[in-house]
Amino acid sequence: MADPFRNPAELRSMFGSNLRYLAKEYPSISELSRQLGINRTQFNRYLAGESFPRPDVLARICDFFDIDARVLLEPIETITSGSDPLSSLFLKDFVGTGSRDLSEETFPSGYYRFARQSFLDASQFVTCLVWVTREGSNTYIRGYETKQALASQGLPPTQDAREFRGLILQQEEGVAGVISRRNSMTCSFTYLHRVASFENNFWVGYVSRTISETPAGERAVRIVYEHLGRNLGAALKVARASGYCDASALSPFDIRLLQPNQPFR
C-alpha cells in the first residue's frame, strides 16, 4: 500500500521512475514525446523526477500507456492494466510476450485433431477435435471433451462441463498451451513442436494435468496434433470418432510419434 505521507520529491521520483520504465520500449524519446503531444524538454523533466504533469497531461499519459493514476504512487510492476493478468505490466514482458503475435506460420489457425495415451489406462488412447483461432494479437484454443471421458471421471457430461478453452504461447522451439475447463475446475499444460511430415501439418509433444500424484494413472503423456485447416468435412469426421480407442484406430505415424511402449521422460 502506498505511503500517504510521502513528500512531493518522493512522488516526483516515483513518477519519473515509472515513466522511464514505460518509455524504455520506445527507441526515441523525441518520437514518444511527439506522440504524447508533450514538449520534449518538459517530458525530460518528468523522466528525471523534477516535475509533475498537469492533470490533463497526466490523463493523456495514462490513456496512452493504458494505466491509471497510481503511476504517481506505486511501482509500475505492481500496477495492472484492466482485469486481464496477462496484460498487466508485471507479466507483460514474461508470460505476456509469448501470448502476443504468434504467427500463422508457426501455429496456424483452424481445426486440429489430437491423439494421446489415456491418463488412466495405458492400453487406451484418446482422440479429440479442437479449434484454434486468433483474436487481436492472441491465439486461443477451444474444444469439448467427450461424454465418455467425463463419465469416467465421475463428472456430469453437460456441454458446460465438457468445454475447455486456453491460450497458446510462443516458445523458443515450439508452442505451449495453458488450457482449462470452465471456472478453472481443471487445468492442463501442453507443449508442442513441429515434426517433419508430408504436408508439414503435425506437431508432437506432451500434455500434463494438474492433479496430485497417484498410482492409479499418469500425470503427463505424449500428445500429437494434426492440423486439418478449415476443412469442415474432415473436422466432422474427427468429431464423430472422438473418444477412447485402442492403438488399431490410430495411424502408424501417430503410433510412431506417441511411442506408447517407451516411458515418457
**Domain annotation covers residue 116:** yes
Place of cell 504517481: 72
**What distance in Å separates the CA atoms of residue 52 and residue 63, rounded to the nearest whole number?**
16
Q: How many domains does the chain have?
A: 2
Q: In terms of residue numbers, what domain contains 178?
A: 110-258
Q: Which domain-ending residue is among 30, 62, 79?
A: 79
Task: With H, G, I as helix, E, B as strand and everything else as coil, classify residue 116.
Answer: strand
Are residues 191 and 118 located together in one domain of the fold?
yes
CA-to-CA separations, 199 to 194, 195, 202, 203, 229, in angstroms, rounded: 11, 10, 8, 12, 11
**Domain annotation covers residue 250:** yes
Q: What is the CATH number of the domain that holds 59?
A: 1.10.260.40
**Domain annotation covers residue 85:** no
Are residues 54 and 119 located together in one domain of the fold?
no
pLDDT-derived band at 75 (thresholds 50, 70, 90) equals: confident
Place of cell 495411424: 251
The H helix count followed by the E strand count for the chain is 9, 9
**Domain annotation covers residue 99:** no
- pLDDT, one tens digit per residue, over 191-246 is 999 999 888 999 999 999 988 887 777 899 999 999 999 999 999 999 999 999 99
**Domain annotation covers residue 217:** yes
CA-to-CA separations, 262 to 38, 176, 189, 202, 221, in angstroms, rounded: 63, 23, 21, 20, 11
Q: Which domain-ending residue is among 35, 56, 79?
A: 79
Are residues 59 and 125 located together in one domain of the fold?
no
**CA neighbor of 149 nearest in space, from 125, 130, 122, 177:** 125
Q: Which domain-ending residue is among 79, 101, 126?
A: 79
pLDDT of 185 reads 74
**Domain annotation covers residue 50:** yes
Are residues 49 and 153 located together in one domain of the fold?
no
Percent of the chain with pLDDT over 90: 52
Q: What is the CATH number of the domain that holds 207?
A: 2.40.128.120
Residues 6+ apart with CB under 8 A from 236: none
pTM value is 0.70
Task: With H, G, I as helix, E, B as strand and everything else as coil, classify residue 250.
Answer: coil
